[in-house]
Structure 1
């Protein structure tokens, strides 16, 4: 069955105490809204509609940056979940299929769970996602009769007997699109909150003789984020799952609890990750690499056999080919480093190409920014860049060329040449001793004066 998603993302999130819309707060480096969108991607949705409200412009920008084909509609007034879903009616007017309603602040629903909800509509008209709650607290309750869901009761409106039910409502709903909006049209707001509850569609469907059921999942999948404490817990939950998946896939984490992963981190098997490594968004590490302690990677690619760190930083656009070595306190940004090259100590390589088997000495800097524009540095294969070389871009170092330590290179260097660009050394016999005596005498006068 063709599927569309409606993701509710209109809430202000007052308990977050933030100017940023709640759904844009990050978990593992990306907005929780993006996690929700990615959860629904398994259903291959024909349309994804995000219902925005508070901070709608920010929500729209984040949504379209992740999925330019998504549709963002606005709920101007917060009148309840049924009212929020109703804002997607026009966007889905011509759609013939099923619609799944997700929540931008509930980021961890598994692909398998959504597939079971999709399958439930083969035999039912409405499917709701439920969970057995360890502490039902103020969740809505699912009132079941066998495998038939009779109705959903909000805690505020529930009787004592209904509050004793532990099967709770996650809010996630699936139904045929035309039926979903038809049922929403019949929803009223005669309840304790005066809101239009999406949950009421179950009772309305049963009243029409339609079939409704509940699909259940682990409570952890339905974790909602309403506060900073919830956000921290959600991030920790993600990290625990992601680390466990890497270990299962053959990645060695010597201190798993210290490694921080992004939502989209990809690491090949037989890779070694040492303690206190941080992966930002957009990182791929191929099999057999080593990422040493206290390194930070973001928006980069490390090929097979690469060694990074300790204390290295790979920024967006860093592309490391096979068997590249990047050592301690090295920063690489928007640079391609070819096979077998070494940048082992205390260097910055930005907006550059480093050729195969090149060796970059300690303290080398590609001076890529002139205060207005960025410029490119090319370092050829097998080149040897002496320690403390400043490469003032734009500049090209030929294959097999060498620069002397302490040089400031401002012009291109031809292949196999040696480039030296530093002032001649001047030596004045005895001047060191005399200067020390002058300085010591000056210090003594100052001390007497004080």
Structure 2
């Protein structure tokens, strides 16, 4: 049996925020969600999150994750005190307990798997994930024998100069034999300046404690302030972009690009500079995205081109061209081989294949058929001051520049709407619509200085 406990009770005062530290966002997910996702790969039988500070907010934020058990630590009296709270919920549990902290989002799933495997192979009482830091200043040093059995842990301030040359430190990630740990936990004391119960004291009461070095020392980094959060963002971005470039994605100036690790990219996608991909976005093969584009929770079809544009919660079909300076949002769906051009906004729009809206238009709450041409300056007037209304436009219809379609309205197939029209009534198929006042010309109305000849 295997259980995972995640420490998520702290305030995180150095973050300077009202939001619990473990809920800080990092590349599209909270810190604790990232830890939970990494831990899920070992398929634990039990998952426990130890909460305290603003526990209701933390529990609500994690409510979408099945099978989580929440354990309250109140007051928060240190890491040892936190794990003591598991004595009751795990009283009938037999097996190993993995202890993780909710603020270590860089920990890879394979590292947790390796920690458990080594712990079980060595039949250790406890296994400590350690790291060899280039600069371990301020960290307690972990001293091991040649078999990686931990002999002692010495705080930095208590180390001699030779001892400070040791670069091995604890990450705060452990795997314990639960039966042995449960016996040791009641023995913890708070005889220290902080009057807290430290989990590391249990090593004094356990038989065999071993160390396992993480392959990448950055995995051990915890997030305590905004600077460390920014560094973690850089690490995840570097990992994500390297993975996709090795998989066949081209990135022009990748240092200017950001990509959430929830994004999916096909081969032969090209990402231009200053482009940002977020959430559950998927870019299909052959698409070129950017420069200067932002896409979140959207799917971009094969061979699309998106430049200088924003796409949110929408879907773009194959071989379509978006931008420059388009905005597509509100679950819009654009068909194959469409063009959505300069300063065009779509909101909750369904656009058929081969339809063009090339310039300066707002198309909201609208369904357009295939091969529709929308002239520059076209507006669907979808809001009457109280509610939104739908506009439906049939196949092969042409809408002249500066037209306004006042919803609710239906325009049939093969309709031609004259430029400058304000259309307020439904139009049947195969019609010509001219909905504007007749032009009035009054000759000789002004004098040479531009003044009215007849002011009255």
Range into which the TM-score falls when normalised by the shorter chain: 0.7 to 0.9
Using the TM superposition, give the Cα deviation of residue 95 of structure 1 relative to its aligned residue in structure 2, in angstroms: 4.4
Cross-structure match for 1:129: 129
The question of 1:196 aligning with 2:197 is answered: yes
1:318-337 mapped onto 2 (5 Å cutoff): 318-333=314-329, 334-337=331-334
Q: Match of 2:345?
A: 348
CA shift digits 1:240-261 (9 cap, x unpaired): 2222222211111111100012
Alpha-carbon distance, 1:97 to partner: 3.6
CA contact (8 A) 1:295 1:312 kept: yes
1:313 corresponding residue in structure 2: 310
Cα RMSD over matched residues?
2.5
Deviations 1:333-390 (A, max 9, x none): 11111222221221111112111222123122123xxxxxxxx421112222222221
Instruction: Report the secondary structure of 1:235's partner residue.
Output: helix
Higher helix share: 1
Structure 1 residues 431 and 33, CA gap change in structure 2 (3 angstroms): farther
Correspondence for 1:297 among 295, 298, 305 = 295
CA distance in 2, matches of 1:175, 1:74: 21
Mind listing any 5+ residue stretches in structure 1 that lack a counterpart?
Answer: 368-375, 440-450
Q: How far did 1:57 drift?
A: 2.0
The answer to whether 1:408 aligns with 2:408 is no
Distance 2:86 2:397 in 1: 63
TM-score, normalization: structure 1? 0.87
Q: Superposition pairs for residues 83-162 of structure 1, below 5 Å?
A: 83-120=81-118, 121-125=120-124, 126-153=126-153, 155=155, 158=158, 160=160
Moved more, 93-102 or 327-336: 93-102
Which residue matches 2:374?
Answer: 385
Contact 1:151 1:203 in 2 (8 A): no
Q: What is the TM-score with the length of structure 2 in the denominator? A: 0.85
Are the aligned partners of 1:152 and 1:200 in contact in 2 as well (CA < 8 Å)? no
Aligned residue among 413, 419, 426 for 2:439: 426
Gapped regions of structure 2 (runs ≥ 5): 383-388, 423-435
Aligned residues: 423
Q: Is the 8 A contact 2:145 2:151 kept in 1?
A: no
Shift, 1:282, TM fit: 2.0
Superposition deviation, residue 213 in structure 1: 1.6
Q: CA deviation at 1:99?
A: 2.2
Of the structure 1 ranges 382-391 and 182-191, higher mean CA displacement relative to structure 2 is found in: 182-191
- The answer to whether the 8 Å contact 2:257/2:275 transfers is yes
- For the residue of structure 2 that corresponds to 1:426, the secondary structure is coil
Match status 1:256 vs 2:254? yes
Instruction: State the distance in 1 between where 2:448 and 2:189 align.
Output: 92
The alignment partner of 2:411 has SS state of: coil
In structure 2, do the counterparts of structure 1 residues 83 and 267 end up closer, same or farther at CA, with 3 Å as the change threshold? same
- DSSP 3-state at the match of 1:35: helix
Helix, strand or coil for the counterpart of 1:270?
A: coil
